[in-house]
A and B are shown apart, each in its own frame.
Chain A
Amino acid sequence: MRGILSRIKTSYLFFTLLALSVGGYYFTEYNKFQSQVEEESIYFELQNVIHKINPSNYNKDLQFDLQKLRSRTQNSSRQKRISDFIQVYSSQNQRLYPQRLNELNDFESKNFQELQKRKNKFVEFTTYTLMALIALSIFNMLFYLSGLQRQIFHPIQNLTLKINDFVNGNYQYYFNTPTDDELGHLETSFNHMAETVLKNMEELKALDAAKSEFMNIVSHELRTPMTSIKGSIALIMTGKWGELPDKVKNLLNIAEQETNRLIRMTNDFLDLAKIEARSYSLDKKWQPIDSILEASIQGLKGLQEKAKVHIDWHTDAGIEVFADKDRVQQIITNLLSNAMKFTPEGQSIQIFTEIENQHVKVSVKDAGPGISEENQKLIFQKFRQAASPDRPLVKGTGLGLSIAKALVEAHGGKIALKSDIGRGSTFYFSLPEYRRNEDTLSGEHAA
Chain B
Amino acid sequence: MKILLAEDDSSISTILSMILEQFSGHAVDLAPDGKQAIELLQQNYYDLILLDSMMPYFDGLQVCKLARENLQVTAPIIFLSAKTAEENKKKCLDVGANGYIEKPFDPTSIWQQIESILQRVAS
**Chain A: minimal CB distance from B59 (Å):** 12
Interface mask (A205-230 → B, CB under 8 Å = 1, otherwise 0): 00000000000100111011111101
The answer, yes or no, to whether A231 is at the interface (CB within 8 Å) is yes
The answer, yes or no, to whether A93 is at the interface (CB within 8 Å) is no
The answer, yes or no, to whether B84 is at the interface (CB within 8 Å) is yes
Query: Contacts A220-B54, A234-B108, A235-B15: A228 and B83 contacting too (C-beta < 8 A)?
Result: no
Instruction: Name the residue among B12, B82, B108 with the largest chain A CB count within 10 angstroms.
Output: B82
Check A225 against B11 for contact (C-beta < 8 Å).
yes
Which of chain A's residues 197-256 have a Cβ closer than 8 Å to chain B? 216, 219-221, 223-228, 230-232, 234-235, 240
Interface mask (B5-22 → A, CB under 8 Å = 1, otherwise 0): 000010110011011001
Check A231 against B83 for contact (C-beta < 8 Å).
no
CA distance A240 to B108 in the complex (A): 13
Check A235 against B107 for contact (C-beta < 8 Å).
yes
The answer, yes or no, to whether B103 is at the interface (CB within 8 Å) is yes
CA distance A231 to B81 in the complex (A): 15
B residues less than 8 Å from A221 (CB atoms) = 82
Query: Contacts A220-B82, A224-B82: A231 and B15 contacting too (C-beta < 8 A)?
Result: yes
Which of chain B's residues 61-118 have a Cβ closer than 8 Å to chain A? 81-85, 103-108
Interface mask (A311-335 → B, CB under 8 Å = 1, otherwise 0): 0000000000000000000000000
CA distance A31 to B75 in the complex (A): 118
Selected contact of B104 from candidates A216, A223, A235, A240, CB within 8 Å: A223
Q: Across the interface, name the chain A residue whose C-beta is closest to B7.
A: A224
Check A231 against B16 for contact (C-beta < 8 Å).
yes
**Chain B: minimal CB distance from A421 (Å):** 40
B residues less than 8 Å from A230 (CB atoms) = 104, 106-107
Interface of A is mostly: helix
Check A224 against B103 for contact (C-beta < 8 Å).
yes
The answer, yes or no, to whether A263 is at the interface (CB within 8 Å) is yes
CA distance A400 to B121 in the complex (A): 38
CA distance A321 to B107 in the complex (A): 39
B residues less than 8 Å from A223 (CB atoms) = 82, 103-104
Check B15 against A228 for contact (C-beta < 8 Å).
yes
Check A219 against B108 for contact (C-beta < 8 Å).
no
B residues less than 8 Å from A228 (CB atoms) = 9, 11-12, 15
Instruction: Name the residue among A227, A232, A234 with the largest chain B CB count within 10 angstroms.
Output: A227
CA distance A219 to B81 in the complex (A): 10
Selected contact of A232 from candidates B9, B15, B85, B103, CB within 8 Å: B15
B residues less than 8 Å from A227 (CB atoms) = 12, 15, 103-105
Instruction: Name the residue among A216, A221, A224 with the largest chain B CB count within 10 angstroms.
Output: A224
CA distance A221 to B106 in the complex (A): 17
B residues less than 8 Å from A216 (CB atoms) = 83, 85
**Chain B: minimal CB distance from A225 (Å):** 7
CA distance A216 to B85 in the complex (A): 9
CA distance A21 to B108 in the complex (A): 106
A residues less than 8 Å from B16 (CB atoms) = 231
A residues less than 8 Å from B11 (CB atoms) = 225, 228, 232
Check A219 against B84 for contact (C-beta < 8 Å).
yes
Which of chain B's residues 7-65 have a Cβ closer than 8 Å to chain A? 9, 11-12, 15-16, 18-19, 22, 53-54
**Chain B: minimal CB distance from A209 (Å):** 13
Query: Contacts A231-B19, A240-B22: A219 and B82 contacting too (C-beta < 8 A)?
Result: yes
CA distance A413 to B46 in the complex (A): 53
The 7 A-B residue pairs whose C-beta atoms are closest, nearest first, are A228-B11, A231-B15, A227-B104, A234-B107, A220-B82, A223-B82, A231-B107
Residues of A within 8 A of B (CB): 216, 219-221, 223-228, 230-232, 234-235, 240, 263
- A-B pairs with beta carbons under 8 Å apart, 23 shown: A216-B85, A219-B82, A220-B54, A220-B81, A220-B103, A223-B82, A223-B103, A224-B103, A224-B104, A225-B11, A227-B105, A228-B11, A228-B12, A230-B107, A231-B12, A231-B19, A231-B105, A232-B15, A234-B106, A235-B18, A235-B19, A240-B22, A263-B104
Residues of B within 8 A of A (CB): 9, 11-12, 15-16, 18-19, 22, 53-54, 81-85, 103-108
Known: A220-B82, A221-B82, A224-B12. 10 other contacts (CB 8 A): A219-B82, A220-B53, A220-B83, A224-B9, A225-B11, A228-B12, A230-B106, A231-B105, A232-B11, A234-B108
